[in-house]
A = this chain, B = another copy of it.
């Protein structure tokens, strides 16, 4: 198919497709003439993945590049790729004062839930400590017990999600499912939580 049809199939503007091609986020098509190239189903799928990561997961273009490179490199162990994707999606938060003041609290909570397989220098771990420090300065109190509750809930969620992974797919397919699933089901949970809050606030209002 031509670029116009590719854009239509993936429901993305032609200008976006051209931008992704320039940036190497989308592999080039088969050149069939001057200013003419043919694209296939793999391009449609890649575009849909990029769209989900960007629109749903809020991933910046810099993260998309890292994710695409990591997923495409067949020589890299799957776990390495997933770690790199996780890091690309967890940019550092600028914090005031001594960096990592909340790190011991965060590390204790992660150890408490038994996640020995989460890297000490995982970007998500650092961002979590930065986040707790940022809001604890004056905005909100983040108690260790509250943090532990969230970790417990996340643990239950991760166990369930692990069991849902379709292991019959090939490496590329499994990786894509895991990367897209992280973004999509994360946003599904965010939206459901928001609706749940609305319900319980309304219930509280009615009860006076």
Contact = CB atoms under 8 A, between A and B. Distances in A.
A131 B188 contact: yes
Interface in A35-75: 44-45, 48-49, 51-52, 55-56, 58
Given A157-B153, A201-B82, A192 B117 contact: no
Interface string A125-151: 101100110110111101000110111
A170 interface: no
B157 A193 contact: yes
A79 interface: yes
Given A157-B153, A180-B135, A128 B82 contact: no
Contacts of A157: 153, 193, 196
A202 B150 contact: no
Contact of A140 (B135, B138, B177): B177
A159 interface: yes
B158 A191 contact: no
A86 interface: yes
A196 B55 CA distance: 24
Dominant SS at the A interface?
A: helix
Nearest to A177: B140
A119 B192 contact: no
A202 B86 CA distance: 13
A99 to B, nearest CB: 12
B55 A150 contact: no
A202 B117 contact: yes
Contact of A197 (B52, B131, B182): B182
Contacts of A146: 164
A204 B167 CA distance: 12
B78 A194 contact: no
Contact of A135 (B52, B119, B182, B206): B52
